[in-house]
Amino acid sequence: MPQPAPRIVIVGGGFAGLYAASYLGRSELAPLGADILLVDQKNYFTFTPLLAEVAAGNLSRDDVVVGYRTLARRYGFRFLQGVVDGLDAERQVIHTAHQDLPYDYLVLAPGAEPTYFGNEALEKHSCSLVSVDDAMAIHDRVVHAMEAASRVDDPMVRACLLTIVVAGAGPAGVEMAGELHHFANDVLGPFYPGLPRVRVIIVSAGDRILPGFDDHLARQGLDALRRLGIEVHLDTMVKDAQPGQVMIEGPAGAAVLMAGSLIWTAGTRPAEWLSKVKLPTDRGSLQVEETLQVVGHPTVFAAGDVAGLVDARSGRPYPRVAPIALSQGTRAAANIEALIFGRPLERYQAHHAGKIVSLGRGIAFVELLGFRITGRVAWLFYRTAYLLKLVGLKNKARVVVSLLFNRLFDRDIAASSAAPQPVVAAPPLEE
């Protein structure tokens, strides 16, 4: 153990950063005085795989968040709430809005943010899905749209209000579409008996849904979505958006969807400030060795969405999903420990046993160790897997109680915010 004890800074408190901090806090380094500091702009961790269920009112905000200071005390690290806006790798200093943080070892895990490919209109007129606040805003938007539709007589405006477009057909987009279709039509619908059913549309630039899943399972998922009544447009891009309109372009040419809500899950990028630092990057991601060390910087590690590591088995970059992020965070932390004690570092290789996606209504698809599981068994597996991965016993208990209450009683359908004015400005259809 070098003297003085090393200072380890972890930037970002998502799955990668949190698991790195919790590993180091319980490692051989902690009793010897190592300073382990986690920095994030929020003071709470969010279990992002369940955000779609928050948007659908199945879970509450408190079910999926837990304070970092609670976790810091439990796992033996320090926490600082701050916005990181720069890095001086030569001086080994992290810059935040309020102070500079010197480090001896660094884990960069700031996560990703939505990218709209330079289209400001898409950013302005869509709802992202990266935070619990985003999920709650989507929930409120659906509720307010139902209320607004119940007040108007114009069938075109009503149809516009009751149309939701989800851009992106990865797990986040598919889960959101399934959950919102169930929430709007089966949960909210009976309270608005005069309204037609809500139309949910998935638009994907790819030629299939669920990229990265088994082809057969993806086809089954597509069939299940269409049986539910969810429209899916493949090989189609969302080109632009205005209030009440989503412009798309696909095999049949350009078209305009009259839609009151556009939910964006079609792309993310690493945190923007990383593009300004003097570290090697490739298409926005940090170039890393197999040990997750940033190329040319042996004391700087990257994990999660910012790590541009290619899976040797598939030849493609690792997907930006929670299981990959948490395992990379753990491996980066273990390699820092090994580096400090002079032990060999281990290369990262994902031990990702399977993939899970839920469509709501007891429908899920699981790819596990080469096996495909569907139906009720897959749904139970989905529920069990996420309950086990939830951070904190209190949150596990809260989720179980929330799900039980939803079985026994109606979901809470009240919006948590006042209705915006207007919910949507639906222009008349052109002749």
The enclosing domain of 169 has a CATH number of 3.50.50.100
Domain shared by 334 and 207, yes or no: no
Task: Tell me the pLDDT tens digit for each residue of 361-373.
Answer: 788 888 877 788 8
With respect to residue 160, please indicate whether it lies within any of the assigned structural domains.
yes
In this prediction, residue 406 carries a pLDDT of: 83
Burial class (CB within 10 angstroms; exposed 0-12, middle 13-18, buried 19+) of 153: exposed
Domain shared by 94 and 174, yes or no: no
> pLDDT band at residue 428, thresholds of 50, 70 and 90?
very low
Alpha-carbon gap, residue 317 to 309, rounded angstroms: 6
Task: Tell me the pLDDT tens digit for each residue of 273-315.
Answer: 888 888 998 877 899 999 999 999 999 999 999 999 988 877 7
Alpha-carbon gap, residue 17 to 22, rounded angstroms: 9
With respect to residue 332, please indicate whether it lies within any of the assigned structural domains.
yes
User: Which segments within 290-370 are labelled E, that is strand?
Assistant: 293-294, 297-302, 354-360, 363-368
List the structure tokens of 146: 């139902």
Domain shared by 143 and 231, yes or no: yes
Burial class (CB within 10 angstroms; exposed 0-12, middle 13-18, buried 19+) of 34: buried
With respect to residue 68, please indicate whether it lies within any of the assigned structural domains.
no
Task: Tell me the pLDDT tens digit for each residue of 245-264.
Answer: 999 999 999 999 999 999 99
Domain shared by 27 and 144, yes or no: no
> Cα torsion at 229, 234, 240, 246 (round to 10°)?
-20
pTM of the entire predicted model = 0.92
In this prediction, residue 1 carries a pLDDT of: 59
Helix (H) or strand (E) holding 163: strand 163-167
The CATH number of residue 107's host domain is 3.50.50.60
Domain hosting 26: range is: 7-41+82-114+269-352
Please tell me the total count of domains within the chain.
Answer: 2
Task: Tell me the pLDDT tens digit for each residue of 118-138.
Answer: 999 999 999 999 999 999 999
In this prediction, residue 284 carries a pLDDT of: 78
| Residue 429 pLDDT exceeds 50 | no
36 or 274, which is more confident: 36
> pLDDT band at residue 45, thresholds of 50, 70 and 90?
very high
Domain shared by 342 and 306, yes or no: yes
Percent of the chain with pLDDT over 70: 96
